[in-house]
Structure 1
Amino acid sequence: MSFSRRFFAPVVLPADPDCSVLRDAVVDVGPEGRITYCGEAAAAPPIPDDVPRSHMSGILAPGLVNTHAHSPMTLLRGLGGDLPLMTWLQEAIWPAEARMRPQDAHAGMLLGCVEMLRYGVTTSAEMYAHAEEVADAALRAGSRVLIAPAYFDRPGGDWRGDLAAIGKWIDTDGLRFGPGERIELCYGPHSAYTLPPEALHATAEESARRGALVHIHVAESLAEDVAQRERHGSVPQLLKTSGLLDGRLLAAHAVHLSDSDIQLFAESGAGVAHCPGSNAKLASGTASLHELRAASVAVGIGTDGPASNDDLDLWEEARLAMMFCRLSTADPLALTAEDAFLMATSGGAAALGRTDIGELRPGTWADMIHVSVDGPHFAAGLDVADGHLLANLMWAAGSRAVTDVWVAGEAVVVNGETVRVDRIAAQRAAADATAHIV
C-alpha cells in the first residue's frame, strides 16, 4: 500500500451510517488523493518513516456537500431581496443574468468557490449558464462541482441546442474529468414551468444514454405547484411520465409534495436538495423533510443561490433544517445534530447518486475539513459524550470553526484562507463584474 500523508486527530467523524465518533484516530491518504485508511490510531497500518504526518488539534470530517447552488449569483446578492419568488426571478434576476458575460460568471463562480471552501463545503451541485466558465473557476479554486448547464423555453432560449451541447460535452470530455475527477457534468432543465413536457422527455432519453444526473427545480412555489397539478397531476407525476424518474434525478426544493409524490421519489431513488434558508426567505414554504426522510428518500442540504439566501454557508442551512423540522412536527427529536451532520455530508452525496464523496472511508476521495476546537463553541473540549460533541459542532461551531480544507488530498484552505486563489483579488473581480451587470 502506498501513502502520501497520514493525518492524526483527537476526533475523526467519518460520516458513516452510524455517525461514528472515532477518538485518537488516523486518516491515511494515498497518492491519487483517495483515502486508504480511516480508523483508530492503534489499529492503523504501519507506514514508512518518510511518509509526511500531520497532527491536527481538532476534528477531522468529510467536506460538506452542497446539493443545490447557483454560485455565480454571488454577483447578484441583495438584488430584489424583498420580492416573492416569481417576481424576484422575472423582474430582478433573469434580466440581470441576461446581461451577464462569460467572464462575469467566471468571477462570480470563483468567489463562490472561495466562500464555500472557507466554510468547509468541498462539493457543490451547480445549475447555471456559462457552464464552461463555471467549470474553469472551480478547477482554479480546487473545488469539486457537479455542473448542470441550465436551459429554458423562453424568448432567446434554445433548449434543443442546449440539450445537444451538454451531450456533446459529455461525449468529448467524459462524465467526470479534471484532477481528482473534480468536475461531473449533468443536465439542467430548469423546471417543469419553464420547459414543455417534450423537453423533459428528451432530457430523460439523453441523460439515460450517458448515465448522467438530471438536476431540476421541483414544486418550489405554491403557484407553480397548483398550475402543474392542474395540467399533469403534480410535478413528480410529470417527471414519472417523462421518464426522468427512471434515471438519476436530483429534485431541488421539493417543497409542495403530496404523500403520493413522496412515494414516487422513494420508489424511483430520486434525491432531494432541501434548501430551508432560500425557501424561507422567498416565502416558498417549508418542505416535508420529516416525511421525506421517513420514506427513505435520499435528502441532502442545499444553499440555493447566494442571491436568494444570501450566503453559501451549509452549516447555517443545517441548523435551519433542524429548527424548521422540529417546529413543523412539534418534536425536538425530529432532526438531531447527528441527522443534520449526515445530511450535510454522506446524505448529500447519496442525493447526488455519489458513493465516492461525503464520507471518510477507504476508496472515497480525501475531501476533508479540519474544525478547530479552540473557541467558545467548544468550551467543554472534546472529552465529552459523542452526542454532546456533535451538538456543539452543528449548533454552536459551524463554518466559523473551519480552519483547513483538502480536496482529493490537496490543501485548498490553510489557516482559514484559500491557497490557490487570492481572495481579495477574487472579491475585486467580482465587484467589477457586478458593476457591469447591475
Structure 2
Amino acid sequence: MRLRAPVVLPCDPACSVLRDAVVDVSPAGRLGYVGPAADAPASEDPVRTLSGIVLPGLINTHAHSAMTVLRGMGGDLPLLRWLQEVVWPAEAKLTPADIEAGMLLGSVEMLRGGITTSVEQYFQTDHLVRALSTTGQRALLGPAIVDTPGHNWRAQLDEVSARIDVDGRFCGRDGRVELGYGPHSAYTLPPEALTLVGEAARAREALVLIHVAESAEEDAAQRAEYGSVPRMLHEVGLYGGRVLAAHSIHLSDADIAEFARAGVGVAHCPGSNAKLTSGIARVRDMRAAGVRVGLGTDGPASNDDLDLWEEMRLAALLARLSTMDSTALTASDVLLMATRGGAEAVGRTDIGALEEGRWADLVHVAVDDPAFAAGLDVPDEQLLANLVWAAGARLVQDVWVGGEQVVADREPTTVDRTKVQEAAGAVNRRLRG
C-alpha cells in the first residue's frame, strides 16, 4: 500500500514537514519509503490519496485504561483520598469481565484519538490482552504488582516472569502487546519487592513502569529514609534496564540528574496531575538534563479522558506558565513528545516515527475544519501550531496499526462502538448501585 498526502510529518528529530509526500507500507506492516512523492521509487502498489496530514501513531506512555468503568467517580478528591476512599474499594468489586469491558472501551477511545500504542498498568493480564487484540491496538503492558489488602506482590511478580519465560515478551494479535512489570510505587511495595522486580526485568529486557513522586505526601516515609524516591530506587537496584517513571513531579535537581544518569524515561501526565492537584512536573529541566520524556493520559478515572492531543496542549501550557517562558515547550516539542519521545521513553525503536523499518502505525488527520481555515499552504511553523494548538482528537479520520486499518472515518473497524460503550456503562452503573 502507498499513501499519498499533501503533508506528512515523519516526526524525525527536526520535526520536518514533508509536502506532497508518500508513505509506503510493506505486506508485513512495516514502513518502506517515506518522503516527497517526486522522489518516490516506482511502485505497483495501490495508491490511496488522502486529503489531510499523515503522522505517526501517538504513544500514550501511562494509562490504566480499563478504568473507563470507574470514570466520574470521586472526581473532586485529591490523589490519596481518591485512591483510598473511591478507587481501591471500587476495584475490589471488579470482575475479570468488567476489566475486559473497560479495556475495550479505553482502547476504542484511544484509537479514535490517534493513540496507536498505550503503556498500561492494571490487573487481569489475559483479559487486557484479549481486549487489545480485539481492537488491534499496540500496547506495553505491565501487570500490576502491589502490596495492598487482597494482593500478593511476590505471586504477582512470579506470574509475570513465568509468563514471559514460557510465551515470550510479545503476545496478543500479531505480537502487538509487549509484557513488562508494573510495580505500583515505592509507597505500596517493600524495598525487597523493588529489588526483585529490577532483577527480573533486566534478566528479560522488559520494561518496568512505576509511579514516582506523584504527590507531595505519598512518599514521606521513603523520602525520610532515603532522601528521595529516585535515590531509593537507585539504592534498592531498580535501575539498570528499561525503566519508565510515571508523573515524577516532586523531583530535586539531584533526582533529575539521577534519572538522566540511569537512563530512566518519564511519563508526563499534565492533565491528571492538574486534576488531582498533584503539581506541575519540571519538564523543561528534565529535558535539558537529557531525560527522555513522553506524554501520558493516566487513567480515565483521574483525567478523565484518554486524549493525548489535550495532553500536548496542557504540557506546553503548564510548562510555559510554571516557568513564565513562552518558549519552554513549543508545538514541535510536544508533538515529538507524543510520538518519537514516547518511544524513546519506553526504549522502543520500532514505533513513534515514520522511518523505514518501523511499524506502519499511522494517523490521518482531516483538515476540513476551522483549525485549518488558512489551508495547508502556510509556513511549517504555522502548520504545526495549527495542528497542536487548534486541532485535536476530533480531526483524527483514519488510523492504521501495523498497516492494518483499525479506524476508518472516525469509527473502529473491528468492534461495534455502541455495544462497547453499553457494556462498560453497565459496569459503572452496577458499581454505583
What interval of TM-score do these two structures reach, taking the shorter chain for normalisation?
Answer: over 0.9
Alignment of 1:370-409 (within 5 A): 370-409=364-403
The one-letter code matched in structure 1 to 2:18 is L
Structure 1 Cα separation of the partners of residues 126 and 174 of structure 2: 18
1:424 to partner: Cα distance? 0.1
1:40 to partner: Cα distance? 0.7
1:126 to partner: Cα distance? 0.3
1:102 to partner: Cα distance? 0.3
Give the gaps of 5 or more residues in structure 2.
none
Instruction: State, as a whole percentage, how many aligned pairs show the same letter.
Output: 60
**Aligned twin of 1:423:** 417
**Aligned twin of 1:433:** 427
1:157 to partner: Cα distance? 1.2
The one-letter code matched in structure 1 to 2:402 is A
Pick the aligned partner of 2:33 from 31, 34, 37: 37
The one-letter code matched in structure 2 to 1:183 is V
**Aligned twin of 1:26:** 22
The one-letter code matched in structure 2 to 1:125 is V
Alignment of 1:73-112 (within 5 A): 73-112=67-106
The one-letter code matched in structure 2 to 1:34 is R
**Aligned twin of 2:134:** 140
Structure 2 Cα separation of the partners of residues 79 and 57 of structure 1: 40
Residues 145 and 338 (structure 1), Cα distance of their counterparts in 2 relative to 1, 3 Å cut: same
**Aligned twin of 1:192:** 186
Pick the aligned partner of 2:325 from 292, 315, 331: 331
1:181 to partner: Cα distance? 2.7
Cα deviation, 1:124-168, whole Å, max 9, x if unaligned, reads 000001121111101100100111111211222110000000011
**Aligned twin of 2:198:** 204
**Aligned twin of 1:64:** 58
Structure 2 Cα separation of the partners of residues 255 and 227 of structure 1: 17
1:436 to partner: Cα distance? 2.8
TM-score normalized with structure 1 length: 0.98
**Aligned twin of 2:278:** 284
Structure 1 Cα separation of the partners of residues 89 and 124 of structure 2: 16
The answer to whether residue 282 in structure 2 is matched with residue 300 in structure 1 is no
Pick the aligned partner of 1:178 from 172, 182, 191: 172
- Judge conservation of contact 2:5–2:20 (CA < 8 Å) in 1: yes
**Aligned twin of 1:249:** 243
Structure 2 Cα separation of the partners of residues 111 and 431 of structure 1: 10
**Aligned twin of 2:6:** 10
Structure 2 Cα separation of the partners of residues 194 and 225 of structure 1: 10
Pick the aligned partner of 1:357 from 351, 355, 367: 351
- Judge conservation of contact 1:33–1:180 (CA < 8 Å) in 2: no
- Judge conservation of contact 1:403–1:415 (CA < 8 Å) in 2: yes
User: Alignment RMSD, CA only?
Assistant: 0.8
- Judge conservation of contact 2:80–2:218 (CA < 8 Å) in 1: no
TM-score normalized with structure 2 length: 0.99
- The worse-fitting range, judged by mean Cα deviation, of 80-89 and 177-186 is 177-186
The one-letter code matched in structure 1 to 2:309 is W
- Judge conservation of contact 1:225–1:256 (CA < 8 Å) in 2: no
**Aligned twin of 1:273:** 267
Cα deviation, 1:252-310, whole Å, max 9, x if unaligned, reads 00000000000011011110000000000000010001100111100000000000000
1:100 to partner: Cα distance? 0.4
Structure 2 Cα separation of the partners of residues 155 and 57 of structure 1: 53
The answer to whether residue 109 in structure 2 is matched with residue 123 in structure 1 is no
1:314 to partner: Cα distance? 0.4
**Aligned twin of 2:49:** 55
- Judge conservation of contact 2:143–2:182 (CA < 8 Å) in 1: yes
Alignment of 1:225-264 (within 5 A): 225-264=219-258
Cα deviation, 1:18-50, whole Å, max 9, x if unaligned, reads 1000001010000110001101111111112xx
The answer to whether residue 88 in structure 2 is matched with residue 114 in structure 1 is no
SS in 2 for 1:229: helix
The answer to whether residue 337 in structure 2 is matched with residue 340 in structure 1 is no
The one-letter code matched in structure 1 to 2:102 is G
Cα deviation, 1:58-81, whole Å, max 9, x if unaligned, reads 000001000000001100111111
Structure 2 Cα separation of the partners of residues 333 and 342 of structure 1: 15
SS in 2 for 1:223: coil
